[in-house]
Amino acid sequence: MDKSEVREFKKWLQSPIHNQREDVVQLFDYLMAGNHLYEDKFLEKERVYRKIFGKEPYNDAKLRQTVHFLFKSLEEYLYFKQYIQNDLHTRISLVESYRARGLEKMVKKNLDQVHRQLDEAEFRNEIYYRTNYEHQKEKYNHLSSQPKNAKINLQEVSDALDKTFIIEKLQWSCRGYFHQNLFRTQYDLGLLDAVLDKVEKNHMTEDPAIAIYYYVLKAITDEKDDQAYFEKLRSEINEYSRLFPHSQLREIYLMAINYCVRKMNAGVEGFAKETFEWYRLGISDEVLIDRGTLSPITFNNTVATAIKAGEFEWAEHFIDEWNAMLPESERENLSHFSRAKLFFEKKDYRRAMILLVQAEYNNILFNINAKSMLLKMYYEEGEMDALESLLDSFRIYIRRKEVLGYHRNRYLGLIKFTKKLLRVSPFEKEKVQKLREEIQNSNHPERQWLLERLDDM
């Protein structure tokens, strides 16, 4: 809780409509005083009990009851605070309350207010459409109580419900596809085909909230026209990004980036630059910044795609300028790691190795990425004993990690092909050609580096 929430909750506890127990207020005051929440000695039960109940004998059940009522009051406060943040939602609840009391004049007045607020709403995402459905439903309840010749809005209710469902179905289906590709799982997406058919037959892509998720789905599932759908997705995002709140726009950017990364890893020309541009724009517009913090994964991926696109100077400037937005606990390690990656791409292996051994990585992906760079540097520097040892330990490490998803096959493939490079002689032309064809047909993300090592032979 921030300071304003602490003050607000104190007032909440002092209101008899929310709390009538003085011991609950005293417990809260004690916990908020000084450093009491952060040192164990201040949280010893007997000590807390004396502060609240004085010299009476310690009663554990009595203290537990006080703690229970403070916690219950806090949960009610948090619920209330979250609830009133959405003015439209609270006003619709007010409509329900007036209707239950038979105050139809006040029902109509508040329904009209909801209608005006919906027209003026800043965002046009699934929350907006769900609220519109609730509005139409309450409007139907109001109109149903009027004289029989009153026009009923049944069509509007049905349309609003359809649109709400379609938007949310597309949204969750996108998440399902990305998740099953990442973790090699499978989901039954139910009515998705019927929803896509409805969108196409009724030209519903005129609505940005539907269009964006529809084009994401088509881009990742339609192998024939995926790039055409991606172009439409990019156009929709450029034109209508203002209609989505920051957290949702961030997710949309990451979906677009995920598509680009898949194309880049498959070796499709131009997608290294495309991926970099999405990261560059997402950083400069702070779409990829979450509550003032840049996640280590986003920081690392931004550097990696800038390097892949040949934007070395931009990457160096980014590391220097944006590392301050990383969580403090990971700032130094990730800065070292990113600079090591940059030196590696510049073939300054000595400086890259120095930086890599200075860092300790809790993140599995950073760890295996660092090992991958060391593998390549050992190979190119002719450090064969070190390379053989790393290949064996690297393979064991990957097989022990069950949470790697598709990354597992990527790095096991790199280990396999590197071992084959070590075993083949440049004089065995047929074996060299066979290995070249195997690498080319593998679509492995490190295919270019592996082929270049064959060329070196």
* 131 within a domain of the structure (yes/no): yes
49 and 103 share one domain: no
Beta-ladder partners of 193: none
68 and 100 share one domain: no
56 and 106 share one domain: no
* Nearest CA-CA partner of 269 in 279, 278, 260: 260
21: DSSP letter: -
151 and 50 share one domain: no
Q: Which helix (H) or strand (E) holds 318?
A: helix 312-322
Tens place of pLDDT per residue across the chain (457 aa):
889 999 999 999 999 999 999 999 999 999 999 999 999 999 999 999 999 999 999 999 999 999 999 999 999 999 999 998 888 989 999 999 999 999 999 999 999 999 999 999 999 999 999 999 999 999 999 998 887 767 899 999 999 999 999 999 999 999 999 998 877 788 999 999 999 999 999 999 999 999 999 999 999 999 899 999 999 999 999 999 999 999 999 999 999 999 999 999 888 989 999 999 999 999 999 999 998 899 998 999 999 999 999 999 999 999 999 999 999 888 988 999 999 999 999 999 999 998 887 777 777 888 888 899 999 999 999 999 999 999 999 999 888 887 676 678 888 999 999 999 999 988 888 999 999 999 988 878 788 899 999 998 8
- 232 class by beta-carbon count within 10 Å (0-12 exposed, 13-18 middle, 19+ buried): middle
99 and 185 share one domain: yes
98 and 189 share one domain: yes
Q: What tokens appear for 143 in the block? A: 């109109």
* 53 within a domain of the structure (yes/no): yes
72 and 147 share one domain: no
Number of domains in the chain: 3
* 312 within a domain of the structure (yes/no): no
Give 31-95 as a 3 state SS string.
HHCCCCCCCHHHHCHHHHHHHHHCCCCCCHHHHHHHHHHHHHHHHHHHHHHHHCCCHHHHHHHHH
SS3 383: coil
| Residue 442 structural domain | 383-457
* Nearest CA-CA partner of 412 in 437, 451, 442: 442
* 279 within a domain of the structure (yes/no): no
Domain end point (choices 83, 109, 124): 83
Kindly report the pTM of this predicted structure: 0.81
Domain end point (choices 54, 83, 112): 83
Domain end point (choices 181, 203, 225): 203
* Nearest CA-CA partner of 373 in 321, 311, 319, 304: 304
Question: What's the longest Cα–Cα distance across the chain?
Answer: 95
Q: What's the chain's length in residues?
A: 457
72 and 110 share one domain: no
